[in-house]
């Protein structure tokens, strides 16, 4: 996840009145919580001050998991040990042995059901959109339409994060390639 090292993006996020990030295929929540974690480290005191991470997915089951906000040790294996301090270990009942993110992080992420192929209810612009590892589900033509809609929804600094093996080549010319980031969270 490269948001922590992208100074242009961070500067743009700091300047924007409402900080808005969209994790558009969020699965059980690791992606939006990773974004929240990195933003919290990079821009202290940011979360909770008119900043919001919208996390959406098509799959109701993964969203239910995300809203339960319980993660096994294995599912957090890729997170740096320093960052694991943000999680607390449950010591009884349903949460026993499971990890839960801090209240501050939890409150910075809003989970919603959304099919990327349907109409989008959001208005206004986003500072960054994450559309990672979901393109495989769409034809090239659908991807073209998707990227056009994403470009319309981004602010002046259009920052779009794709998966490691995904690309905009021959799909949309409204973006410039910025950098290849590591696959780690």
Ligand X SMILES: C[S@@+](CC[C@H](N)C(=O)[O-])C[C@H]1O[C@@H](n2cnc3c(N)ncnc32)[C@H](O)[C@@H]1O
Contacting residues toward ligand X, per CB under 6 A: 25, 27, 31, 57-59, 62, 115-117, 132-134, 137, 163
Alpha-carbon span 163 to 181, nearest angstrom: 9
Closer to ligand X by Cβ: residue 19 or 65: 65
Q: How far apart are CB 61 and ligand X at their closest, in Å?
A: 9
Structural contact between residues 24 and 63, judged by C-beta atoms closer than 8 angstroms? no
Closer to ligand X by Cβ: residue 75 or 95: 75
Closer to ligand X by Cβ: residue 18 or 164: 164
Q: How far apart are CB 82 and ligand X at their closest, in Å?
A: 21
Alpha-carbon span 152 to 149, nearest angstrom: 5
Closer to ligand X by Cβ: residue 91 or 141: 141
Q: How far apart are CB 168 and ligand X at their closest, in Å?
A: 16
Q: How far apart are CB 53 and ligand X at their closest, in Å?
A: 13
Alpha-carbon span 95 to 68, nearest angstrom: 10
Q: How far apart are CB 107 and ligand X at their closest, in Å?
A: 21
Closer to ligand X by Cβ: residue 43 or 59: 59
């Amino acid at each position: 996840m490269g948001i922590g090292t992208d100074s242009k993006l961070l500067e743009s996020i700091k300047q924007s009145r409402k900080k808005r990030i969209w994790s558009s295929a969020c699965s059980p929540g690791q992606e939006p919580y990773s974004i929240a974690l990195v933003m919290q480290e990079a821009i202290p005191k940011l979360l909770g001050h008119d900043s919001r991470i919208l996390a959406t997915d098509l799959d109701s089951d993964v969203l239910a998991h995300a809203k339960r906000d319980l993660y096994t040790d294995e599912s957090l294996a890729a997170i740096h040990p320093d960052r694991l301090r943000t999680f607390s270990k449950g010591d009884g009942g349903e949460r026993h042995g499971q990890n839960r993110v801090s209240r501050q992080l939890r409150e910075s992420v809003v989970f919603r059901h959304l099919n990327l192929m349907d109409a989008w209810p959001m208005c206004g612009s986003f500072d960054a959109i994450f559309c990672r590892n979901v393109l495989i589900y769409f034809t090239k033509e659908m991807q073209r339409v998707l990227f056009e809609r994403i470009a319309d929804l981004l602010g002046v600094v259009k920052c779009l994060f794709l998966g490691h093996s995904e690309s905009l080549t021959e799909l949309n010319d409204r973006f410039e390639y910025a950098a290849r980031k590591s696959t780690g969270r």
